[in-house]
Amino acid sequence: MRFNGHEAIGEFGEDACIFHGEVINPRDVITFQGQSGDELKDAFAASVQDYLAFRASRGDGPEKPFTGQFVVRTPPELHRAVSSAAKRAGVSLNKWVMTALERAVAN
């Protein structure tokens, strides 16, 4: 689901017989729930609006931006293989990984 630049995932909780979801693209935790798919969508929108209002009331912007940097831990064998693949492609390791990530999220 998408609303106002925010993206969320939702699922049905069989035990509680309720739909619940989480906004996945800010750093802050934003959750919501509803009794039906329509209620879930409405709760998502309301949660995003509440979140933005809360941040504004504190004088904060909507959220802290991502830095563009993160650490990835891999087994040494994978690190070697990825480094070799980057060299074969004639690009930096960073560029090779960035291209692989862009392909992965495009699907």
pLDDT in tens, 70-105: 899 999 999 999 999 999 999 999 999 999 999 999
pLDDT in tens, 15-39: 889 999 999 988 788 999 999 999 9
Nearest-angstrom CA–CA distance, 93 and 79? 10
Residue 76 near residue 84 (C-beta atoms within 8 A): no
Q: Provide the pLDDT for residue 64.
A: 66
Nearest-angstrom CA–CA distance, 55 and 64? 10
DSSP 50: H
Tokens of 93: 């390791």
Mean per-residue pLDDT, 37-66: 87
pTM: 0.64
| 60 or 102, which is more confident | 102
Residue 95 near residue 86 (C-beta atoms within 8 A): yes
Q: How many CB atoms neighbour CB 35 within 10 A?
A: 11
Residue 47 pLDDT > 70, yes or no?
yes
Q: Provide the pLDDT for residue 27.
A: 77
